[in-house]
Amino acid sequence: MGNNKHTVFNCIDMLPSSPGTALLHVIPAPYEKSVCYGKGTANGPSAILHASHQLETFDGKSDPSDLGIFTHPPVDCLGSHEFALKRIEKTVAEVLRIGKVPVMIGGEHTVTFGAIKALSVKFADFGVVQFDAHADLRDSYQKSGYSHACVLRRIHELGIPVFQMGVRSICAEEHEYRKKKKIPYLDAEQICVKGIPGKILPASFPKKIYLTFDIDALDPSVVPSTGTPVPGGLGWYQTMELLENVLKGRKLLGMDLVEFSPVKTFHYPDYTAANLLYNIFGIAQRAKSLS
């Protein structure tokens, strides 16, 4: 499933980094098992990696490539949900073991659960900041608790705090769960009507965070290539401001970019997704969230 060719994240004129010298370890995870509308997330990692070769190393403010970026071979995501997620967990755990920062490229959003399982073994206190059009808090969807529509429910059930950003599609079950569990959020409509507040994350939210970014958090006019696009999403510069806000004063333990479904010969979204990931590196670099 997907393109298993080992393509690397590599900007224009970027010097190669070894596993030992690179702080950022990119992990392609071409996992696609429960997408329910548009298909193609298994092809997302290779498209983003290929597009990264068109990025300038200087992002306009700093050079994130100075952090060192190493790309792993794609995780084998064939077989059952359990086996694929175990392989993801094992790969992320190995990156954490050597003191590096895992950067996973999905694949559908379910891959985040494998990464969080690895982090939960190493870190006792951290939270998950989720950028997403959907709440992903269903207990099950289409008879599966491993659906991409359930991933944040599974994570929250581990006792890990969650903050949701950009949501604009939520079912009654998720709404009630979010209210009952007092999950904090900043939905897309709130951002549109009231703007971005000075402080987003609650004071009580953990200082160590994992960032999971579903590409459909962005408005479809910015990135249309995703399985379940929803109108009314985040704009490009809104997103940059939100990221700067949540990363300031926080320690970034790891991150992922998921649910990108490339369309053949439609290069703009591929480049935008790669640019988004690289910009996150730069924002984290300048916020000193990686040190």
CA dist 149 and 170 (Å) reads: 10
The two tokens of residue 38 are: 């548009």
DSSP conformational letter for 73:
P
| The pLDDT of residue 6 | 58
Residue 4 pLDDT exceeds 60: no
Pairing of strands 24-29, 185-186: unpaired
65 neighbors 16 (Cβ within 8 angstroms) = no
- Banded model confidence at residue 36, pLDDT cuts 50, 70, 90: low
Domains located in the chain, CATH noted:
24-286 (3.40.800.10)
Q: What is the pLDDT of residues 120-135, one digit of tens each?
A: 999 999 999 999 999 9
Q: What is the pLDDT of residues 82-101, one digit of tens each?
A: 999 999 999 999 999 999 99
| The pLDDT of residue 167 | 98
Q: Which residue has the higher pLDDT, 281 or 291?
A: 281
Q: How many CA atoms lie within 13 A of 114 on its CB side?
A: 35
Residue 78 pLDDT exceeds 60: yes
- Banded model confidence at residue 16, pLDDT cuts 50, 70, 90: confident
The two tokens of residue 244 are: 């700067």
Q: Mean pLDDT throughout 193-216?
A: 97
Q: Which residue has the higher pLDDT, 241 or 142?
A: 241
The two tokens of residue 221 are: 């006019």
- Banded model confidence at residue 1, pLDDT cuts 50, 70, 90: very low
